[in-house]
Amino acid sequence: MKKFLYIFILLFIVGWAQAQQRVVYTINDGWKFTKGSPFEAQLAGCDDSSWETVNIPHTWNNKDADDETPGFYRGPAWYRKQLFVDKSQEGRQAVIYFEGANQEVRFYLNGQFVGEHKGGYTRFCFDITSHLRYGQENLFTIYVNNVYNPNIPPLSADFTFFGGIYRDVYLQFMNPVHIATNDYASSGVYIRTPEVNNSAASVEITTLLTNNTLQPAEIRVENVICDADGKEVKKTHAEIKLASGETKTDISKKIKIDSPRLWDIDDPYRYMVYTRILDKKKGTLLDEVVNPLGLRWFKFDSEKGFFLNGKGRKLIGTARHQDYFQKGNALRDELHVQDVLLLKEMGGNFLRVSHYPQDPVIMEMCDKLGIVTSVEIPVVNAVTETEEFLQNSVEMAKEMVRQDFNRPSVMIWGYMNEIFLRRPYTEGKQLEDYYRFTEKVARALEATIREEDPSRYTMMAYHNMPQYYEDAHLTEIPMIQGWNLYQGWYEPDINEFQRLLDRAHKVYKGKVLMVTEYGPGVDPGLHSYQPERFDFSQEYGLVYHKHYLREMMKRPFIAGSSLWNLNDFYSESRVDAVPHVNNKGVVGLNREKKDVYWFYKTALSRRPILVIGNREWKSRGGVVNTAQKECIQSVPVFSNAEEVELFVNNKSLGKKKVEDNYALFDVPFVGGENLLEAVAVAGDSKLRDMLRIQFQLVGSQLKDEAIPFTEINVMLGSPRYFEDRTANVAWIPEQEYKPGSWGFVGGTSYRRKTGFGSMLGSDIDILGTDMNPIFQTQRVGIKSFKADVPNGEYSVYLYWAELESDKEREALVYNLGADSEQTFAGNRSFGISMNGTTVLDDFNIARDYGYARAVIKKFVVTVKDGKGLSVDFHKKEGEPILNAIRIYRNY
Ligand code: GCB
Ligand code: CA
């Protein structure tokens, strides 16, 4: 009786389990983690009690990105977890599925090696059926390393290679007779649309089927195409016999859909395809997989650009890195979702998913929102001349294509970004061989992708050294040429941009052209009314983007563009206004919107827009320059209305015509709070925007009682304004001293030489501060800094950093040819006196602090007898310097 009951229960459980569908859930939480290689970490005996506990998505480099030490941990690490697996899953197929881990993974289950994967940006999975213990705890151990491996791309790149399991991990359980999971971690279903037009579409569905039981299986395969409301539109079926252990392909051809609703940028309509397999006799459902189906046709034309469903559409959008403030690459899904929403809100219709395949959620969102995409594998900067490198690259290309095969948004597959940026040789036979090998890799990738998916286009992105790519025949190979252009940034002449476009159009006749990258660095805290390249100001950002957008729009042969970049991102070896961060994003690492974001949104969006720019500049400052004791500074108001009116503290400044997406108003700011209010009419809608700004007014006559002196914060050698957002201090540019006022006496602005021309100040990372900008510019040869402040006691802070090193400055790798030269300042030493009292006699910054380190000295000075303050510099050796000064009134 007891035995009977037992069998009954067992039958019940097995029967229930078999009727069950796929079960998929994440196993992200509570992993034990350690860097390094502990002894036998995959075995139960290894003591992990002292390891950290972490959740996936996880990277071990997120803190490295924000600390001062150059470099980041590139080495091995281990994750371990005991995980109870339900008894009810026994007898089913079990798979562990990774959305991505950087960069090499070895997976062990209950002490046994299960499988490995190479490459940090594609998905992969392992069958764990035979290793699992059901109704018990199982020891999952995962070895991951992000060590440089010459055979795994990328070898080098302008982004940080965050190590870890930085995307979700899942367990999947399914019937042993199922839709295959082992085809490059794809869905096992490949949907093609050989013909689509307005009246009809034909669909072809290929399904990989696996029988992992010991018996033959007779199954029925069904594809049900449903519309977005879930109503059945078409259904196919086939009957198939699978021998034990066999995998077979079922192809359902010529499924016709009449009057299809198309997938388009403005109406990204998706059908869904339910692929099911059923037990032929019993009719029970064995397995089911769902895929999106977008019906669209598209083409790229070398003269007229891009066409979607027969309509010409200029593709305008961004590239995107998977970074977030202090998280590195370990982002939860919502953060990915937010990025595609930001792009859509900006009016973008194109995403260059670069430089690597990204989280599935990104692709889902692009499908959903009508964003055309190009996805690429991370073969960046250079190749290694080995068969293994070539093979790994080809494998990555297959993974990429198969994993996102069914995405209606994907129209381009990319490979190789600026592959000759880091050529290991510059001439001779070695260079010749290197070119030949790179060409071989390119041809292998092109052939692989075209064979895998002839329905899409291929693309490669070049940097502005066309000769290299021509010499290696790389300009001929892909269907689309992508150009990464930075004229007016790395190269001085912004007008060279359109000349290069016209050249490419002429020289590469018949090739489709896209601008795959362009953009200047912008620090939201920096502003300038004399914007110039490399100043990282919001204003230069506008100058640059305005020019590029205008020139691209004029040229129908430019099929599209992806500005660099949607968001700021971490690049450990980079030194810009913010250390280790590439700040070419139109939004910041925390997704704060810069003025250039509003510019694009206004230019691209069809909805009425009115936004007062400089939104994030909450503490501003400036010197009185009107008789009414105000300071006039310009503020952009972004709008697609014809004209806008701006009120400042309830007074109208009149109406202004909008040109190039914004109107620039000269705003008279008063000290303290200012209320800006913009109004405009666009079509039927009345638009209004408001902004409050704190303004720190500095008198031009410091003894002026109408503006009592409290403090001034001045950056020397610079026309830039900088907002210290931590302490809400407004830094203002220097001026020359005039009696009664304040300013420098003598000297010149420091400019660093770059490969082409020079830049204002330096872009080296200043150690010991989080306010690089106030140390990156300086006045060289300064004689005095005078301020005719009233009598009282003052704190005087002097700011320095030695910007000139005695070592040849390491060429900034990613400066695209703008190699820097660093000259030695010589032995710089000078004296300083305050109102005649010597405070330092032999001040040698390099000697006492070294190169590129922030030095701040605070002095307390009493000003008497109406003499004001004079800080005087006395030359001993080399030229005296000063980077910034803060004068703060104590009493
Ligand atoms: C490029 C690279 C990209 C860099 C960018 C830059 O051309 O393709 O990876 O981040 O330039 O900012 O220099
Ligand atoms: Ca995810």
Of 161, 422, 564, 575, the residue with max ligand 1 atoms within 8 A of its CB, to mutate for a pocket test, comes to: 564
- Predicted local distance difference test score (pLDDT) of residue 165: 98
Q: What are 524-578's pLDDT values in tens digits?
A: 999 999 999 999 999 999 999 999 999 999 999 999 999 999 999 999 888 777 7
Q: How far is CA 738 from the centre of its chain?
A: 46
Range of lowest pLDDT (98-102, 745-749, 758-762):
758-762
Report the candidate in 764, 779, 755 with the shortest Cα–Cα distance to residue 879: 779
> Which atom of ligand 1 sits closest to the CA of residue 461?
8
Q: Among the listed ranges 351-365, 416-430, 487-501, 805-819, which one has the minimum average pLDDT value?
A: 805-819
State the span(s) of the chain assigned CATH 3.20.20.80: 296-605
Lowest mean pLDDT among 201-210, 570-579, 615-624, 634-643: 570-579
Q: Is the CB of 809 under 6 A from ligand 1?
A: no
342 Cα–ligand 1 center, Å:
21
Ligand 1 pocket test: pick from 320, 374, 484, 586 the residue with the most ligand atoms within 8 Å of its Cβ. 484
Give CATH 2.60.120.430 domain extents, the chain. Answer: 700-890
Does residue 323's CB lie within 6 angstroms of at least one atom of ligand 1?
no
- The Å distance, Cα 158 to ligand 1 centre, comes to 6
pLDDT band at 812 (very low <50, low <70, confident <90, very high): very low
CA of 397 to the centre of ligand 2 (A): 20
Provide the terminal-to-terminal Cα distance of the chain, rounded to the nearest Å.
Answer: 97
3-state secondary structure 336-381: HHHHHHHHHHCCCCEEEECCCCCCHHHHHHHHHHCCEEEEEEEEEC
What are residue 515's DSSP bridge partners? 483, 561
**Alpha-carbon distance values, 591 to 336, 536, 566, 735 (Å):** 11, 17, 9, 34
Ligand 1 pocket residue status of 271, Cβ below 6 Å: no
Q: Is the pLDDT of residue 296 over 50?
A: yes
Cis status, amide bond into 38, omega within 30 of 0: no
What pLDDT digit, counting tens, does each position of 388-441 carry? 999 999 999 999 999 999 999 999 999 999 999 999 999 999 999 999 999 999
Average pLDDT for residues 344-364, to the nearest whole number? 98
**CATH architecture, domain 187-291:** Sandwich (2.60)
Distance 814 CA to ligand 1 centre (A): 7
Residues 185-191: what's their mean pLDDT?
A: 98
- Atom 4 of ligand 1: nearest residue by CA position: 158
Average pLDDT over residues 505-518: 98
Whether 67 has a pLDDT exceeding 90, the answer reads no
pLDDT at 747: 98
Mutate to test the pocket of ligand 1, among 576, 814, 815, 819 (most ligand atoms within 8 A of CB): 814
Q: Helices 538-553 and 496-507: crossing angle, nearest 10°?
A: 30
- How confident is the model at residue 770, as a pLDDT? 86
Confidence of residue 807 (pLDDT cuts 50, 70, 90): low
Of 573, 816, 819, the one to substitute when testing ligand 1's pocket (max ligand atoms within 8 A of C-beta) is 816
Q: Which CATH superfamily is domain 700-890 in?
A: Galactose-binding lectin (2.60.120.430)
Q: Is the CB of 814 within 6 Å of ligand 1?
A: yes
The whole-number average pLDDT for the span 434-462 is 98
Residue ranges matching CATH 2.60.40.10 in the chain: 187-291
- 829 has a pLDDT exceeding 90: yes
Residue nearest to atom 13 of ligand 1 (CA): 814
Cis, bond preceding 176 (omega within 30 deg of 0): no
Statement: residue 635 has pLDDT above 60 = yes
pLDDT of the residue at 824: 52
The CATH fold of domain 21-165: Jelly Rolls (2.60.120)
- Decide: 484 in ligand 1 pocket, CB within 6 A: yes
Q: How far is the CA of 57 from the centre of ligand 2 (A)?
A: 8
Q: How confident is the model at residue 666 (pLDDT cuts 50, 70, 90)?
A: very high
Is it the case that residue 36 has pLDDT exceeding 50?
A: yes
3-state secondary structure of 519: coil
pLDDT (tens digit per residue) in 110-143: 999 999 999 999 999 999 999 999 999 999 999 9
Give ranges for CATH 2.60.120.260 in the chain.
21-165
Which residue owns the Cα nearest ligand 1 atom 1?
484
Res. 282: pLDDT tops 90: yes
Fold of 296-605: TIM Barrel (3.20.20)
Contacts of 220 (CB under 8 A, 6+ apart): 237, 238, 239, 240, 277, 278, 279, 280, 283
Average pLDDT, stretch 872-889? 97
* Atom nearest to 814 CA in ligand 1: 13
Neighbours of 752 (CB within 10 A): 21
pLDDT the model gives residue 806: 61
Averaged pLDDT score across all residues of the chain: 94
Put residue 282 in one of left, alpha, beta given phi > 0 → left and psi -120 to 50 → alpha. alpha
For residue 157, the ligand closest to its alpha carbon is 1
**Residue 158: CB within 6 Å of ligand 1?**
yes
Question: Of all protein residues, whose CA lies closest to atom 2 belonging to ligand 1?
Answer: 158
Instruction: Say if ligand 1 is within 6 A of residue 584 CB.
Output: yes
* pLDDT at residue 15 in the model: 44
What band does 66 get if pLDDT is binned at 50, 70 and 90? confident
pLDDT at position 886 is 98
Out of 160-174, 311-325, 463-477, 617-631, pick the least confident: 617-631
Q: What is the pLDDT of residue 753?
A: 83
Output the residue whose Cα is nearest ligand 1's atom 7: 484
Q: For residue range 229-261, list pLDDT tens digits in order.
A: 999 999 999 999 999 999 999 999 999 999 999
